[in-house]
Amino acid sequence: MRKSKFTEEQIIRVLKEVDAGAKVQDVVRRLGITKTTFYRWKSKYGGLEVSDAKRAPRARGREPEAEDARRGSHARQAGAAAPSRKKMVGRDAETLSAG
């Protein structure tokens, strides 16, 4: 996943700015982001304080290492399943040609 050019602290400050009365349209234009990005941030970081983000950098979401491990094990499982299917097809093909 692509790394954001905004830190979690900066994102939370932007959300607070809009909560204080700034218009979403003005904020997204100034930052050069889309409204979709803003509302994605709001769903992920809404309700957090800057101190929460500093205290627990990954308070919302998974740890990157755990995410990589999960993806890796899933890829290994998929990779392990594919050759066994090929072997089964290969055995069936031999049985059919021999019979």
Return the domain boundaries, the chain: 1-61
What pTM does this model have?
0.52
Q: Which residues contact 35 (CB under 8 A, 6 or more apart)?
A: 24, 25, 28
Residue 84 confidence (pLDDT) = 52
φ and ψ at residue 5, rounded to 5 degrees: -85, 0
User: Does pLDDT of 1 surpass 90?
Assistant: no
Question: Residue 44 half-sphere exposure, CB side, CA atoms within 13 Å?
Answer: 17
Q: Measure the N-to-C terminal CA separation of the chain; round to a whole number of Å.
A: 51
Distance CA 97, CA 14 (A): 68
Output 61-64 pairs: Cβ under 8 A, ≥24 positions apart.
none
Question: For residue 51, what pLDDT band results from cuts at 50, 70 and 90?
Answer: confident
Mean pLDDT throughout 53-63? Answer: 58
